[in-house]
Amino acid sequence: MNTSSRKAIRNRSIGDYLVQAVVVGALLLLLAWLAANTIDNLRLRGITVGFDFLSREARFSISDTVLPYSPADTFAWAFLVGLCNTLFLSAIVAVASTLLGFCVALGRRSSHPLSNLISTIFVDTVRNIPVLVLLLFVYSLIIFELPDPVTARVWHGFFLNNRGFYGPALSWIGSGLHWSFPHMGHFNIDGGWIVSPELAAAVAGLTIYSTAFSAEIIRGGIDAVYKGQWEAGRALGLADKQVLRLVILPQALRVIVPPMTSQYVIIVKNSTLALMVGYAEINFVTSTTINQTGQAVEGTAILMTVFLVISLMASWLMNILNRRYVLVEH
């Protein structure tokens, strides 16, 4: 390469960097203008800008909580409780939809006509129903189809009615553990643990919806493995279950993991729709906080930051798993 060619390449690189610097600078100036304009408009309306409200009492209740909570706690603690509820819901849905999706994927690949037909109808139907409609449908079934507490169904210490699912629980009383059994009170069932209708509807609706997509991802990963691998496993005397577990799945995971990363991120994002059935996840806490304090910009910023961090963490963990299998392949 002669001197003139090197100078041309260097000048082109400098020009590219200058263009990128101008674009980044323009974006930063636009963001600064938007921030200043927003702050000025809020001040004109008498709305204080800042996060000082996080230290004030929340003064609203949260029915289902993973962490202990009372209305006397601060808004900051309420956000943390909502975040834990979101992570709890997302984790249950991710695990359940993956396991169920694996079963549905095997059904889609099955040579049994009934199993294949049921799995295909399930996937094609659920994937074409909006997730919000599915959530509301499941919630309506729980509220209107289950019996009231007076006629609640009982199975050896378990109650099922339109106010939740009750069962015995272990609790620490005095110096030891004791069983707490649910029993009929004056107006409702007391004692034990409870899965509220809101949590049950959120888990069931999101799991059904996510299972359909996870099933197609898993089925596509299995089908991506060369059919000769099945024949080679059978030639070694392995049963089909052993071939699937020892030969096919380790290779299919390299195809499954990247799209499943996106699917898990979507599950976390879809958890915000649990607000529509009354489950108190972080979107519920944010909406209630904005209504009480008027700090719409700050509340929305917290919500966006939380979901950005969760999505990046999920992608980072799944990428570690993906790199592990890529290294095994090479």
What is the DSSP secondary-structure string of 55-115? Answer: GSB-----SS-SS---TTSBHHHHHHHHHHHHHHHHHHHHHHHHHHHHHHHHHHH-S-HHH
pTM over 0.75: yes
| Angstrom distance (rounded) from CA 79 to CA 309 | 15
Mean pLDDT of 91-112: 93
Give pLDDT tens digits for 141-171. 888 887 777 666 666 678 777 888 887 877 7
In single-letter form, the type of residue at position 61 comes to: S
| Angstrom distance (rounded) from CA 24 to CA 242 | 54
C-beta separation of 276 from 132 below 8 A: yes
Give pLDDT, residue 1. Answer: 54
Give pLDDT, residue 100. Answer: 96
Confidence bin at 325 (pLDDT 50/70/90): low
Count Cα atoms within 13 angstroms, Cβ side, for 129: 21
Phi-psi region of 215 (alpha: psi -120 to 50; beta: other; left: phi over 0): alpha
Confidence bin at 93 (pLDDT 50/70/90): very high
Q: Which two tokens stand for residue 17?
A: 């960097």
Other CB atoms within a 10 A radius of the CB of residue 183 amount to 12
Count Cα atoms within 13 angstroms, Cβ side, for 308: 6
The dihedral of CA 266, 259, 308, 62: what is its sign? Answer: positive
Residue with the bigger pLDDT between 323 and 280: it is 280
Give pLDDT tens digits for 117-142. 999 999 999 999 999 999 999 999 88
